[in-house]
Structure 1
Amino acid sequence: MSDYEVRPAVLRDAKAIADVHIASASAAYADILPEDQLRALAPSTREAKWREAIEFSEPQVHVAVLGEEVVGFVGFDRSRDPKTPSTTGEIWALYVKPEHWGKGVGVALWDAARDGLEEEGCTLVTVWVPLRNDRALRFYELAGFKREMKTAKTTSLGGTKIEEIRLKRNVA
């Protein structure tokens, strides 16, 4: 039994979600993005983005809490990829504070997202992951996701080109 509880996010969680997002992204992308771009991750813009997501449920957002502290979050909804069937969901974001990595928080968040996607009628779920983010790739592959090799693409993140790949699996 885990000490972590996962629940739907509420508006007052937006700042904590933004803080988790920045702490986790800074650690996860330390070898992928230049230091100045990592420093430029602005809490205020992230908080506004997550406040809007929570308010409009796009994406749906759940948080993992330990006591009263938000230690991770997941955003999920229908796939944003063009020409994707309405039964395909997507993990838009899944971040956990680095000090809680490897403790089951990500799995608990994935389970909540999977349940939510299933309730929405999704049968497949996808996620886009930078190819150089070994930790995230390993996490999703352990969760049963498979790489779709023909989906590799280059995106720009703050002026830095990043190679991403889509992974997918059945929801159930």
Structure 2
Amino acid sequence: MSGPQAGVRVREMVLADCDRVSLIRVRGWQSAYRGLMPQPHLDAMDPAADAERRRALFARAPEGVVNLVAEDEGGEVVGWACHGPYRDGEQRTADAELYAVYVDPARLGAGVGRALLAESVRRCETAGHPRMLLWVLKGNTRARRFYERAGFCPDGAEEPYEVDGVPVPEVRYARPLSG
């Protein structure tokens, strides 16, 4: 399925994508969270270890969890998104949750994230979810602007999150879906 951006193709992730997705995820954390999380934590992130975890998660993904990748014109994976049922503690709700969107830092601003988000929203609408929720670091202003431009708004919920003893609180965003 093609995304809304020229030259970006969004498709379902396959097991062979795990190494590239992990590299994008780790580099995304190291870029987006610089100054928001302890630098030693970011520096210690290992794409190979992440890929091993990602393969295990991919093999046993719960029902309803969808992993998408974005490819450029040459077929290189340049972004990853994951969505599924919203989790309120251990309970699933009727809402959808965007668990992750990461773009190769060299491709930021090229429409990759927009294409992934649009496809995730479309699939969640088609599945009949009444709204989509997501969590974003409170201090991640770039990501917050990205989600706000896509119709998401903070709904007032906040969660404490801590990395190596440093608080990095998250805020929840919501968007109604037309289902």
2:88 corresponding residue in structure 1? 81
Contact 1:9 1:54 in 2 (8 A): no
Of 22, 39, 47, 1:43 maps to 47
SS of the aligned residue for 1:79 comes to: strand
- Tell me which amino acid in the other structure corresponds to 1:105: V
Q: CA RMSD in A?
A: 1.7
Q: Give 1:83-162 correspondences, 5 Å limit.
A: 86-149=93-156, 151-162=157-168
TM-score (norm 2): 0.88
Unaligned runs of 5+ in 1: none
Once the two structures are TM-superposed, the CA of residue 84 in structure 1 deviates from its matched residue by: 6.6
Find out whether 1:7 has 2:11 as its counterpart. yes
Runs of 4+ in 1 over 4 A off after TM superposition: none
Cα offset, 1:16, TM superposition: 0.3
Aligned residue identity for 2:85: R
Match of 2:67 among 61, 71, 89: 61
Of 153-162 and 25-34, more deviation after overlay is shown by 153-162
The letter of the residue matching 1:60 is V
Q: How many residues align?
A: 171
For 1:89 and 1:164, the matched residues in 2 are separated by 18
Q: Percent of pairs identical after alignment? A: 29
Q: TM-score, normalised by structure 1?
A: 0.91
Which residue is equivalent to 2:79?
72
> Which residue in 2 is equivalent to 1:169?
175
Q: Is the Cα contact below 8 Å between 1:53 and 1:60 reproduced in 2?
A: no
In the alignment, what sits opposite 2:36? 32
Work out whether residues 38 and 164 of structure 2, in 8 Å CA contact, stay in contact via their aligned partners in 1: no
